């Protein structure tokens, strides 16, 4: 089994990942993401918008087990992250890792 946290870090380092709720919603609206990850405690109104637009665009949404204050450091950032969009996984196998975890 692939470690989702490790795969996420590799995607951030080698691919293209958009961080932040508003930018993630924009990526979902435009259908430009391959995967969206939301924190376990992502605000419900933000989560609902992401799920709605992602469904319209056919983008899978994965709810990470970590809270936003944990997801930030997992991604190598010194702040909390409620949502992020993977535009290009780079050398990561995050897309397969998430499929197996759902």
* Two tokens, residue 60: 């899978």
- Looking at the DSSP assignment, which residues form a beta bridge with residue 19? 84
This prediction has a pTM of 0.93
Report residue 3's pLDDT band, with 50, 70 and 90 as the boundaries. confident
Arch. (CATH architecture) of 4-101: 2-Layer Sandwich (3.30)
Give the pLDDT confidence score for residue 99 in this predicted structure.
79
- Taking phi over 0 as left and psi of -120 to 50 as alpha, with beta for the rest, 76 belongs to left
Q: Using one digit for the tens of pLDDT, what is the confidence trace for 31-61?
A: 999 999 999 999 999 999 999 999 999 999 9
């Amino acid at each position: 089994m692939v470690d989702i946290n490790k795969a996420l870090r590799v995607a951030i380092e080698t691919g293209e990942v958009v961080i932040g709720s508003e930018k993630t919603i924009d990526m979902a609206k435009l259908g430009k993401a391959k995967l969206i990850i939301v924190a376990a405690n992502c605000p419900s109104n933000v989560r609902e918008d992401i799920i709605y637009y992602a469904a319209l665009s056919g983008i899978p949404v994965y709810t990470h087990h970590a809270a936003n204050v944990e997801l930030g450091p997992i991604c190598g950032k010194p702040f909390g992250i409620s949502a992020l969009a993977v535009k290009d996984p780079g050398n990561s196998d995050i897309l397969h890792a998430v499929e197996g975890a759902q």
